[in-house]
Structure 1
Amino acid sequence: MKHRGRHRRRRRGRALRATLAGTALALTAAATMISASQATVDDPGPLRPVGVSTEAGRLPLTEERVPGRWLDRLASRMGRPVGVGAVLEGADLPLREAAACTAPEKRSLPVEPAATRAYCFGASDTRGWRPGAVTTSGDADDDGRWAENRVILSGWTRGGGAGSLDGPDPGQGLAKVAFVDANDPARLRYTWALLAVPVDGGRDYRGLASPLSGMVWYQDKLLVTTREGDRDALYVYDLDRIQRATVDAEAVGRVRGGWAAHGSRYVLPAVGSYTLPGGGDVPRPATVSLDRSTAPDSLVAGEWVPADSDRPTRLWRYALSRDPARSGLLATDSAHRAEPVEAYESETADLRGVLAYRSAWYLDRAAGSPGGHGTLWRQDGEGARATECGTDATRHCWSGGSGALSYWEETGEVWSQSGRMLFALPLASVDRAVGGSTDE
């Protein structure tokens, strides 16, 4: 039996799916306009399995833990850590429903299949920040809730343009996460938590300086992709170790009179990380998601390869630990290494999001030009398919500012974000649009 921890609740998925089916949005025609000048994307063909012991397929991640005494020292100075429920109690920033969003904002939504739910963040609240990763309580627990709450986590990075064509930018600044209270689909509200790294033996912390291009919330842990150093691959955060900021200031860390988090109300100090092997041209996971269709549950990862590269994109699958004492962490060997259990190569370049479910992999390829639309491929060992849309049958039908993908299995929805838009649509609608099925 899969371990779900103390947050397991009885499944409510069937009734919820019926409710959501009746709330599909009639999104404006602005989201259906695409440029006829966009060329059809080349078919990437089938996925190619790669041996996990070969140079192409092997990518061990070494687990390193922040010393417990560092975290305890930080908590003793900042105050007792809080959990997700306490953070949601302070969620007072509204997400607007699609009808209240601007036409330019809605133009970044998928064309085919269309989003059935969509919301936008406030411009003043996100100006100067770039959206990236998304994960939900549907990843965290199989009943779709964390305790009694339905939650969406939306990752943002300070700096960088909303439609960068150059992949994750390691020179970007701070990273923060919006904790979204999604209990009422008609009234989503959020608050911010800054991602941080303990320093000086836990006497202080610094901000995580990395784009959030991938993020998975599994059990009580949040795993995020990072490009801080040559070897950093993933940082690990504990959702039961959220600290309150006590000073509202632009600074980060210990300040006169308390603790600051660049204006965020909360701070998440890292509890660990997964590092890459040293030396050589080592690939780096740029986007991640959770796959609950495997046993045990698994984390899938994809690298970013520029569109003009002549080498394939590599994809990996890592098993998640079944040990209750290692909740939310990757399965590791005696040397604390997590080795991939599967690896593939794909001709889908400029990858911004990856999702795997049963036999299918869904790969989100970025738009080829600013303001354009991306392509969502469904790929497996037999071939690849993408939806077509527009009068020229283009495959540029996915969201404009392509982002990470997250599957909420309980509701059957895929969540992503594009620009300031946070949106969802049924995975079944993707499969219908490409003429396939996940029931394989």
Structure 2
Amino acid sequence: MTQRGRHRRRKRGQALRATLAGTALALTAAATLISTSQATGANSPGDLTALRTSASSQLRLHENLTSREALDTLSGNMGGNVGVDGVLRDADRSMRNTADCSADERGALPVEPTATRAYCWNDADARTSQWHPRSVTTSGDADDDGAWGAHQVILAGWTHRGGQAAAPDRNEGLARIAFVDATDPDALRYRWVLLVAPRAGGKDFTAVRTGLGGMVWYQDKLIVTADHGDGLLVFDLHRLLRADVDSGAVGRVGHGYSAAGYRYVLPAIGSYDPEGGSCARGRDHAVPCIGSLSLDRTTTPDSLVATEAAGDRPERTRIWRYTFSTAAYRTGLLADAQGHVNAAEAWTTKGSGISGALSHRSPGAREAQWYVGRPSDGRAGHGSLWRQSEHGAEAATCTADQSHACWGLGTGSLSYWQRTGELWTLTDGADRRVLYAVPLSSVDGSLG
């Protein structure tokens, strides 16, 4: 029986809690009349242009997996795997519901369409200037029934950026994930997990340092973006481990293991590295650095959507997809049995600075629609969310200022929860960090 089959058997007979769809919230200061702009207006990404096959060669990846022996050694030394359920049972922080969010936090939410669900972080996490939320994925990505065991789960990726480039502290670049138990939509709780990488044959580990611009949980694997031209990193959600030493160190300490003060770690099980060498920003024919990720369940097979990271090239940005393996023994992995990963489709879109992209084809539709998040022109105000295809782009227009700045403030990657029909993302900014959901149908409705 496959891992996914065993997972479904465990969930059989369990009653799911209420879906994440909620009653629309009054999250904006005043009602705003909306109009639609078709392929015009400031900041429009224009139409999608297909890339030639030869240009797609720069998108190829190669899979490199850590040996099972090394992973088993680390798990054995740390007392065995605790799994997602073990982390959620030990959740130690609560998220604030919308009514408990500050005016500044609510002000970061989209103007149109309005969010139906919104949550703010624990006070300490909401105010920190060193950690920044970047990406989101959910159990709606992991499994088409939207649950993982008895839980509905949201994962939010944060990265440490201290802002002292000349003298970075030892935490600079660390990556952590909030494991949020969203089973009860009125009482979300979470626990932090530090990302690490095994070393010394699994006898030790080191910290993973990456921007976490994109993250997708598919089946039992978590795939995240990697800095420094490394492509992607992959993790196994069955291999969550507990540290038994509470100190600032990361790795083996005496006869135990420490994780910079975090109780739980998630070790990488491998990577997907660019076959063309390290990535380069802002060059048309170079290997692109990957900026964000999302999942598309409307393709056959399911696919991983990737976007080019923001760089110095303002004209065009590449967007492409990889297909997931359908082999029963390769759950959640991308490559074929030989370890090669080719882009199934690739396009370019006008402009740079894409914060997140999502592909989705509605039942009966002839082609997929792309939803692309863009920052504001000054990068300090609300961004815009565009629906895009090879025939053009359109976005809601907020008539208060005749612009498309209707989306959230400083939003990260996008994630679609298929069962509830909700589009999830999160915002960043001092005292303006919110995790929120908008029905995809409302996004389409705002476009007329």
The aligned residue for residue 362 of structure 1 is: 371
- Conserved 8 A contact 1:172-1:211: no
Question: Could you tell me the TM-score, scaled by structure 2's length?
Answer: 0.86
1:224–1:378 CA distance, 2 compared to 1 (3 A): same
Distance in 2 of aligned mates of 1:3 and 1:434: 41
Q: Give the aligned partner of residue 242 of structure 2.
A: 244
Shift of 1:30: 8.6
The answer on 1:375 being equivalent to 2:392 is no
Counterpart Cα distance in 1 of 2:295 and 2:14: 20
Report the TM-score, using the length of structure 1 for normalisation.
0.88
Superposed CA deviations along residues 331-376 of structure 1, whole A, max 9, x for unmatched, are 4253x11101100110042011010001101111122325311111
Q: CA shift at 1:200, angstroms?
A: 1.7
After superposition, give the CA deviation of every residue in 1:116-139 in whole Å (9 maximum; x if it has no partner): 110011231351201001000000
Matched with 1:159 is 161
Structure 1 range deviating more: 187-196 or 114-123: 114-123
Say whether the 8 Å CA contact 1:276–1:284 is kept in structure 2.
no
Larger CA deviation: 86-95 vs 364-373: 364-373
How far is 1:256 from its partner?
3.8
CA distance, structure 1, for counterparts of residue 306 and residue 63 of structure 2? 16
Deviation at 1:401, TM superposition (A): 1.3
Deviates more, 1:95-104 or 1:121-130: 121-130
Which of 424, 429, 437 is matched with 2:437 structurally?
A: 424
Aligned partners of 1:75 and 1:56: how far apart in 2? 38
Correspondence for 1:208: 208
Check if 1:324 corresponds to 2:328: yes
Per the alignment, residue 405 of structure 1 pairs with 414
CA distance in 2, matches of 1:147, 1:125: 27
The residue aligned with 1:297 is 302
Structure 2 Cα separation of the partners of residues 31 and 115 of structure 1: 13
Alpha-carbon shift at residue 97 of structure 1 (Å): 0.7
Matched with 1:112 is: 112
Matched, 1:49 2:54: no
Partner of 1:140: 142
Q: CA contact under 8 A between 2:84 and 2:238: conserved in structure 1?
A: yes
- In 1: Cα distance, 2:110 partner to 2:28 partner: 12
Deviation at 1:177, TM superposition (A): 0.4
Give the AA of the match of 1:138: G
SS in 1 for 2:275: coil
| Contact residue 31 and residue 108 of structure 1 kept, 8 A | no
Matched-pair contact (CA < 8 Å) for 1:216–1:223: yes
Partner of 1:88, secondary structure, is: helix
The 2-side partners of 1:73 and 1:129 are apart by 31
Equivalent residues in 2 for 1:77-88 (5 A)?
A: 77-88=77-88
Output the CA distance in 2 between the equivalents of 1:5 and 1:183: 22
> Are the structure 2 counterparts of residues 399 and 106 from structure 1 closer, same or farther at C-alpha, using a change threshold of 3 Å?
same
User: Separation in 2 of the partners of 1:314 and 1:57?
Assistant: 13
Q: 1:48 to 1:370 in 2, by over 3 A?
A: closer
SS in 1 for 2:88: helix
Answering whether residue 337 of structure 2 is matched by residue 339 of structure 1, we say no
**Partner Cα distance (2:125, 2:255) in 1:** 25
| 5+ long unaligned stretches in structure 1 | 33-38, 162-170, 436-440
Q: In angstroms, what is the RMSD of aligned CA positions?
A: 2.5
Deviation per residue, 1:231-274 (Å, 9 max, x gap):
x1110000000000112222211124521112222100000110
1:156-211 per-position Cα deviation (integer Å, ceiling 9, x unaligned): 001157xxxxxxxxx95100000000000000000011000111221111111111
Match for residue 286 of structure 1 among 287, 291, 297: 291
Distance, in Å, in 1 between the alignment partners of 2:336 and 2:387 is 30
Counterpart Cα distance in 1 of 2:188 and 2:267: 26
**Corresponding residue of 2:282:** none
Q: Any residues of structure 2 matched to 1:146-185 within 5 Å, and which?
A: 146-159=148-161, 172-185=172-185
Give the deviation of 1:59 after TM superposition. 0.9
* Contact 1:30/1:106 (8 A) holds in 2: no
Equivalent residue, structure 2, for 1:95? 95
Stretches of structure 2 that go unaligned for 5 or more consecutive residues are 33-39, 164-170, 279-285, 362-367
State the distance in 2 between where 1:31 and 1:180 align: 31
1:124-135 → structure 2 map (5 Å cutoff): 124-125=124-125, 127=128, 128-135=130-137
**Is the CA contact 2:219–2:331 (under 8 Å) kept in the aligned structure 1?**
yes
Give yes or no for contact 2:177–2:193 (8 Å, CA) kept in 1.
yes
Q: Secondary structure at the match of 2:145?
A: coil
Q: Equivalent residue of 1:387, what SS?
A: strand
- Return the match for 1:270 from 260, 268, 271: 268
Cα distance in 2 between the residues matched to 1:434 and 1:241: 43
Equivalent residue, structure 2, for 1:395: 404
Q: Distance in 1 between matches of 2:13 and 2:294?
A: 22
- The total of aligned residue pairs comes to 412
Q: Residue 27 and residue 376 in structure 1: after superposition, are their counterparts in 2 closer, same or farther (change >3 A)? A: same
1:304-350 CA-to-partner distances (Å, cap 9, x unmatched) read: 234x624310011111011110000014253x111011001100420
